[in-house]
Amino acid sequence: MTALRHTNQVALRYIRALLRQPAWIGISIVQPVIWLLLFGALFKRTADIPGFTGGSYIEFLTPGVVVMLAVSSAGWVGMAFIDDINRGTMDRLLVSPIWRGALNLGSVAQSVLTIAIQSVIVIALSLAVGARFHDGVAGVAVLVLTASLLGAVFASLSNGVAVLTRKRETLIGIVTMVTLPLVFLSSALMEQNLLPGWIRWVARFNPVNWAAEAGRSASATHADWGLVATRTGFLLLLLLASAVFATRAFNAYQRSI
């Protein structure tokens, strides 16, 4: 009960800050929109390649872009922690009887809300340019859910790294270094069975790929609910581990000051 109330308070604080600067949601969505529209146009003929089983490329690409935006949007979440630490706000929270897990989970809640809004914008845009999703609203909802889950994992990792390093430059470096390779080493942009063998092998261990597979299966193609369930399960386990990591990072921080 206390845990929930404290998480709620932390989330409220970050969400309030977000709502006071809603332009940020718009700015951070520019990149995924460019990917969706330009990539979609550039590789339109991909759908003609023998072995491509999706419908049109834009239908195939949309879940990939949603997953990608979740990773890149969540990656920056740790910046707020770095600001809070430098400012002294975090120290005040840490000397209060707050449940430690609430610090990460509250921030994750804000990140998930942002990702859900951004996903809906991207999906609406792709519908506008002609994409159609077989499983309708339910399928799209599962896509947004898996993207949010993936975002929660990366937001937690970002928070943990932020608390451990406490340097904006380091976090920027790590996010830029990690995000794109993870997207490319997955089926976010290209059909699984058209990927080179080694990438297909690596992708099996890539959480971005889990989310892309689950989200796409649920929305774009005819859903394989077994696959959706296992991938969602993997993501849930990873979320648990990354949330523990982010919360434990505060112990390391407190030992170092």
For 132, the 3-state DSSP assignment is: coil
C-alpha dihedral (51, 69, 28, 179), degrees to nearest 10: -100
Interface with another protein (CB under 8 A), residue from 4, 17, 141, 252: 17
C-alpha dihedral (25, 30, 36, 41), degrees to nearest 10: 160
CA distances from residue 245 to 66, 73, 107, 156, 241 in whole angstroms, order as listed: 25, 20, 14, 8, 6
- Residue 6 within binding range of another protein, rule CB under 8 A: yes
What DSSP designation does 54 have?
Answer: S
Interface with another protein (CB under 8 A), residue from 28, 31, 56, 89: 89
Over the window 236 to 255, marking each residue x when it contacts another protein by CB under 8 A and - when it does not, the resulting string is ------------------xx
C-alpha dihedral (23, 180, 235, 70), degrees to nearest 10: 10
- Residue 166 within binding range of another protein, rule CB under 8 A: no
- Residue 22 within binding range of another protein, rule CB under 8 A: no
- Check if the beta carbon of residue 126 is closer than 8 Å to that of residue 62: yes
- Residue 15 within binding range of another protein, rule CB under 8 A: no
- Check if the beta carbon of residue 185 is closer than 8 Å to that of residue 203: yes
Least CB distance to another protein at residue 171 (A): 19
- Count of residues that interact with another protein, criterion CB under 8 A: 25
Least CB distance to another protein at residue 52 (A): 47
Using CB under 8 A, which residues numbered 94 to 123 contact another protein? 94-98
Least CB distance to another protein at residue 97 (A): 5
- Residue 155 within binding range of another protein, rule CB under 8 A: no
By CB atoms closer than 10 A (0-12, 13-18, 19+), residue 147 is buried
Interface with another protein (CB under 8 A), residue from 3, 4, 12, 129: 12
Least CB distance to another protein at residue 19 (A): 10
- Residue 257 within binding range of another protein, rule CB under 8 A: yes
Least CB distance to another protein at residue 161 (A): 19
Closest CA to 137 of 153, 152, 124: 124
Least CB distance to another protein at residue 30 (A): 23
Please tell me the distance from the alpha carbon of residue 54 to that of residue 101, in angstroms, as a whole number: 41
- Residue 167 within binding range of another protein, rule CB under 8 A: no
- Residue 132 within binding range of another protein, rule CB under 8 A: no
- Check if the beta carbon of residue 99 is closer than 8 Å to that of residue 7: yes
In the complex, the residues that contact another protein under the rule CB under 8 A are 2, 5-6, 9, 12-13, 16-17, 20, 86-89, 91-98, 254-257
